[in-house]
Every structure is written in structure tokens, then in C-alpha cells.
Amino acid sequence: MSSLSSPLVACTDVSKSYADGDQAIVAIGEVSMEAHAGQVTAVVGPSGSGKTTLLHLIGGVEHADSGSIVAAGVDLGELSSSEQTAFRAQHVSFVFADLNLLPVLSIYENISLGLTLLRLAEPEAHRRAMSALDLVGLADRAHRLPATLSSGERQRVAVARALARESTLVIADEPTAHLDHDLALEITALLRRLAADHGSCVLMATHDRAVADEADQVLRLEDGRRTH
Amino acid sequence: MTRLAVRFLKANRQRNAVLGVAIAVAVFGAILLESVGRNIVDQLAANAQQRYGTAQITLPGGAAETLPGATGILAGGEGWITEEQARRISDILQIESVGVSPRVQSDAILVSDGQFSTVRILSSAGTEVTGGGTEVTGRTSVPAGYQSLLIGYAPATPDDDTASGFVDLGGDGGSWVQDRDVRDLVWINGDELMHALRGIGVAPENAVGNVLLIGPAGDHDSPDDRSPAVIAYNAAEILSAEFPEAVVRSRQDLAGRTLEMSAGNVTLLLSLVLILPAIAAIIGNVLVTAESRSDELILLRTMGFDTPTIRALIVREVFMVAAGATFIALVSAGIVAAAVPNLAIAPKSLVRFSVIGGFIPPGLSFLTARRLLSRGIHERLAEFRR
């Protein structure tokens, strides 16, 4: 399903700095990388190495200061704020360590909410949501609130949302940060399945070596620069 | 998104209940306070009606305006009502059993112990100075040089600028007395004033005053079922054919309007002071509601919902609370109004406070949401991670 000859994400000499008082802090410095559909790419590095910034740039959350990012055939540097929003709605699913679900909605509604952006017909949206929940083993708890689930189950719901949306690009920022080893590997396996079965390009920031070892490609960052 | 807003509404029911109660209290309180205030104003106006149980007729140029800001300097020439005009008007109005009494009305400056203050004068009939409705009569005994009443007048003829000035009713002049209740009203002896005005050529010899007070003929103390406003209206109707230039007003109407303006402001102030805690609760709640939901907002934004959609979601939720609370407040106010005698609620008041209650809180939430959504997603996510 993947096409190694044409990367889904291509970053070339991407840099990003943030102002801290009078100083400019370099979060990402001239990073180049490629990621392909159907693969999981792990971005590893110590805290503050720029993992999250790189994922946010690729996910269309903000613009790079320099360099170019092309994702899903879209040059992100050319997008306005509203076009970035549309890009995220169309192509990207995020999986965070904590902030994944709206607590007032059931897990089924959380997944359906993500589907409203795709303007699917109601039956199709229902089918996709239930199918995704089934895949992550939570179909029987579709109408429970997130607060009644364990951390691992909530992460599975977040992955299910990405599955249901059939997103081209899945940005997972420390998705296993608060999980024990077994659960972390379980979520990683789900992300691998997402890539393999749906052809999604999964970019996953992690500081867990065991999780990174499950990825097809590992990108190491230190002080905002690529070391591997 | 409406379904989502309803879900948010239910999920945040405690917070929304507090907001709803605050809105309902504010709207209910504002409606009732305004109604109570209006009753107070009506009472004041009724008192004024009792007190000023006459209407007045002026002819063009007369100094009859008693509303604030009016210039009531005595005018010469056409401003004066002659004996013949007064008699004709009196004859005409006899048919309505209305008596006519010529008076002089103007602005003046009262000098007392070196202090100047602007007052209005109204002449009394005959030789006694009587305050309308008051029991103060007789010549005031004031040492010369300590108190003086200056009545401004315009030239007797339009081109005669040199003739304008003041009639000084000082120690050797006429008699006057300040009204016991209305401190800026001075009653003055009509005969003495007219004599002084004729003496300096301001008023023609045949002038009897610049206003005619009209009221029920006969015993003025006897109750009359016709209000002065009705008398004034009838008189105006009757006089318009003979004296198209005549202006007929009820004096209690003028006084009532003045009172209403001041009392209305007091009522508004009172309403604001009393419902201020409720307003503060509304503002605080809306701000806290929006702030506390920044996690939800950031999640929706990362998912790809645009800011107008998210803003509308928040506003919709607050609007549902505000609309419900306002409806409850209206129903409650209606029940109270029905239960309490003489507490009439004006439809205008209902509309005004419904709009305020129903739209101000959503407006506030709109502004708060706009502020929250103006910040970058990356910064918000970074805050969350911290």
C-alpha cells in the first residue's frame, strides 16, 4: 500500500524559532526528513529536542520559519490559517498523551464528531465509527463517557478516531507517555495496523525506546537538529 | 453542532444552572425594579397633578416654558396677553366651566447673601403672594441689600436692544416667596410685578400677564373629576379656532415630565445598583465557562474545526441558557405582576430586558471565545503539556 518512491511527507531544511524575551530559541534547525504512507515513523529525542514542534509543523498547526514541508501533496508553507484548518480537517488526525477526547461526549460521539468534518452520510459515519471501535475492542462500550475508561482505553479511542477518519496523516505526540509497557506496545501495534491497513502515514513522537523499535523508521532529534 | 451544544449544556449543567439563575435574577429584578420605579414616578406625577391643578395658555413670545434648559426671559410685544385677549379666552372657555387667571411667568436670578441662583417666577393673583398649594402668604420681610430678585426681560420692541435688562425687585420692590417644596420656584405678587414692568415700559399698559392659568371655575379646592391635562386638551381644541397661535399645556404635565426625568434616572440607578451582583455573576460565569473550556477548544481546533464554528458552539450553549433563564424571568415577573395590585409592567420593559437577558450573555461569551481562539494552537498545546 505504501509507495516508497513518493513520500507522503517531505521536509527540507525546516527551521522554527520561538521568541523568549529578546532571545530567539531555535526549536527546529534545518531538519530534512521523509515519511511514507503505510509506515510508522518514530521521532525520538530528549525533552526539548523539538519533537513536538516538528510534528506540529507537519500537522499544519503552525508555519515553519524557513524550509519547505509538503504533506499529502500540499505545500504547507503556502497555506493561510483557514487553509491550515481545512488541511487538518481533511488529512490529519492527532493522538496526544492526554488531550484526546471531549469529556462530555461518549466515545462513540467523540469519534462521530471527527467524522462530521468529512461530511459523511449518517449511515456511513455510523458504520465507520462502530467499525473503528470494533477494531480497537471497544464496540461494547461505545456509549460510555471517556471518564469511565482507563488511560489505555482512552488512547485506543483516539486511535479509533484516526481509523474512522481514514486520515492520510496521523500525528501521535507521545501517545504512550502515561501507559505501562504492555499498554504502550498495544497502542503502538494499533498505530502500526492503522498504517498497514489504511495506508496512513503515522508520525509518532516518543521517548520510549521499545516503542520506537516498533517503527519502520526512526528519526532522532537533539537540540532541534537531526542526528539520525 | 446544535446537538453538540445541547450536550455541552447538559454536561456543564451545574455551571450553566448558576449562569441561568444569575440571568433570571437580573432580568426579573430589572423588570420589577423598573415597574416599581415607574409606580414611584407615577405617584410623583400624581402628586404634581394635585399640586398644580391648573393648565396654562401662552401666546407666541410668552415665557411659559418650564422645562429644564428653557429660556424664560420676559418678552415684550406679542408675548403679552392683553386684557381683551384674556377676556375673550375667558368667555370662550366659560362653556367648559373653566376659569382663567392671568399670570406672569419667567426666569429670574435670586441674589441672596451674595449668592446667585437661577429660579423661575410665577406671579400670584391679586395683592397676596401665595404659593400654589402652599400656605405661605404675605410680604416677605427681607433686609434691603441682602436679598434681591432680578427678573430678566427682553426689549419691548424687537429692535430696541438698549431696553433689555433686569427688573430689580429688591428691598423696596415687590413681594415674593420661595416655594416651600420646589426650591427653584418663586411666587411673586402679580400686581406689583405688572406695575413694575409697566413702569419701565416692558409690558404694555393693557397687558395682564404672559400666561393664563386655567382650571375648573369656582372653588379651586373642590375636587374636579377632570384632570388639568384634560382641561388643557379641551381648551386647546376650543381655542385653536379663535387663537391658532395659542399654546395650551397642563402645568402638572410639565412638572410631571421634569419629575419623571429625574425620578427615571434614580430608578435606573437603583436598578443598576441592585442587579449589579447578578450582572457580575453573569460576566464572571461566562468568562470562567469559556476559560475553563480551553482544553475542549484546543482539541476541536486540532481536529480541524474552524474558529467561527467553535465560537458558534460556545455562543449557542450560552444563548440556550440565557433564553431559558430570560423566559423563566418573564413568566415569574408576570406572575408577580398579576399577584401584586397596582404593579403594572410595561411591555416596553419586557422587550428591553428580554433582549438584554437573551443577548448580552451570549455576546460576552462571543467576545471571550474570540479572545481565547485568537491564540495559537501550538502555544495552547504547549501550555497543556506543561
With respect to residue B332, please indicate whether it lies within any of the assigned structural domains: yes
Q: For B12, name the nearest residue in chain A, comparing CA atoms only.
A: A104
Mean pLDDT for A81-88 is 91
What confidence tens digit (pLDDT) does each residue in B238-248 have? Answer: 887 877 777 77
What confidence tens digit (pLDDT) does each residue in B84-132 have? Answer: 888 888 888 887 778 888 888 887 888 777 778 888 788 876 544 444 3
- Please, which residues bridge with residue B166 across strands? B152
Do B209 and B65 reside in the same domain of the chain? yes
Cβ contacts of A98 on chain B, cutoff 8 Å: 384
Q: Mean pLDDT across chain B, nearest whole number?
A: 73
Report d(CA A183, CA B301) in Å as an integer. 28
pLDDT at B68 over 50: no
| Residue B72's pLDDT band (cuts 50, 70, 90) | low
Interface with chain A: mutation pick from B295, B302, B386, highest number of A CBs within 10 Å: B302
pLDDT at A76 over 60: yes
Mean pLDDT for B291-297 is 77
Q: For A93, name the nearest residue in chain B, comparing CA atoms only.
A: B303
With respect to residue B115, please indicate whether it lies within any of the assigned structural domains: yes
The alpha carbon of residue B316 is apart from the nearest alpha carbon of chain A, in Å, by 16
Q: Mean pLDDT across chain A, nearest whole number?
A: 89
Q: Among B229-233, B359-363, B368-372, which stretch is predicted with the lowest mean pLDDT?
A: B229-233
pLDDT at B327 over 90: yes
ipTM exceeds 0.90: no
Mean pLDDT for B190-213 is 83
Selected residues 182-211 of chain A with any CB under 8 Å from a CB in chain B: none
Do B178 and B90 reside in the same domain of the chain? yes
pLDDT at B138 over 50: no
What confidence tens digit (pLDDT) does each residue in B220-262 have? Answer: 444 555 666 677 777 777 887 877 777 777 665 555 555 555 5
The domain boundary, picked from B187, B219, B251, lies at B219
Do B35 and B61 reside in the same domain of the chain? no
Among residues of chain A, what percentage have pLDDT more than 90? 54
pLDDT at B200 over 80: no
Report d(CA B248, CA B234) in Å as an integer. 9
Do B287 and B359 reside in the same domain of the chain? yes
Hey, are the CB atoms on A90 and B304 less than 8 Å from each other? yes
* Domain edges within chain A: 37-61+80-226
Do B130 and B15 reside in the same domain of the chain? no
pLDDT at B145: 45
Higher pLDDT, B146 or A151: A151
pLDDT at B169 over 80: no
Q: For B160, phi and psi rounded to 5 degrees?
A: -100, 80
pLDDT at B179 over 70: yes
| Residue B383's pLDDT band (cuts 50, 70, 90) | low
Higher pLDDT, B337 or A88: A88
Q: Among A93-102, A114-123, B105-114, which stretch is predicted with the lowest mean pLDDT?
A: B105-114
Cβ contacts of B16 on chain A, cutoff 8 Å: none
Which run of H or E residues covers position B347? helix B347-373
Report d(CA A24, CA A19) in Å as an integer. 4
The domain boundary, picked from B171, B190, B219, lies at B219
User: Cβ(A97)–Cβ(A146) under 8 Å?
Assistant: no
Do B136 and B214 reside in the same domain of the chain? yes
The edge-to-edge listing of strands for the beta sheet with B165-169 is B165-169, B147-153, B105-112, B115-124, B185-189, B176-178
Q: Is A98 near chain B, with CB under 8 Å?
A: yes
Q: Is A82 near chain B, with CB under 8 Å?
A: yes
Do B336 and B214 reside in the same domain of the chain? no
Interface with chain B: mutation pick from A20, A25, A56, A90, highest number of B CBs within 10 Å: A56
- Please, which residues bridge with residue A44 across strands? A206, A220
Do B296 and B150 reside in the same domain of the chain? no
Hey, are the CB atoms on A109 and B7 less than 8 Å from each other? yes
Do B20 and B128 reside in the same domain of the chain? no
The alpha carbon of residue A110 is apart from the nearest alpha carbon of chain B, in Å, by 10
The alpha carbon of residue A102 is apart from the nearest alpha carbon of chain B, in Å, by 6
pLDDT at A169: 94
Cell 415665557, located at residue: B63
Which of B8, B10, B295 is facing A99, going by the closest CB pair?
A: B295
Chain B residues in contact with chain A using a Cβ-Cβ cutoff of 8 Å: 4, 7-8, 10-12, 295-296, 298-307, 376-378, 381-382, 384-385
pLDDT at A133: 92
Mean pLDDT for A204-225 is 91
Burial class (CB in 10 A: 0-12, 13-18, 19+), A63: middle
| Residue B380's pLDDT band (cuts 50, 70, 90) | low
Higher pLDDT, A69 or B111: A69
Do B61 and B209 reside in the same domain of the chain? yes
Size of interface A-B (CB pairs under 8 A): 63
Do B148 and B280 reside in the same domain of the chain? no
Question: Which residues constitute the domain of residue B19?
Answer: 2-43+259-385
Selected residues 25-64 of chain A with any CB under 8 Å from a CB in chain B: 52-53, 56, 59, 61-62
Do B273 and B331 reside in the same domain of the chain? yes
The alpha carbon of residue B362 is apart from the nearest alpha carbon of chain A, in Å, by 21
Q: For chain B, what is the domain count?
A: 2
- When mean pLDDT is compared over A46-50, B1-5, B375-379, the highest value belongs to A46-50
pLDDT at B257: 55
Q: A37-61+80-226: what CATH class? A: alpha beta
pLDDT at A91 over 90: yes
Which of A61, A104, A105 is facing B377, going by the closest CB pair?
A: A61
Nearest Cα neighbor of A99 from B380, B305, B15, B372 is B380
Cell 406672569, located at residue: B104
The alpha carbon of residue A7 is apart from the nearest alpha carbon of chain B, in Å, by 23
Higher pLDDT, A161 or B235: A161
Hey, are the CB atoms on A98 and B296 less than 8 Å from each other? no
What DSSP character marks residue B47? H
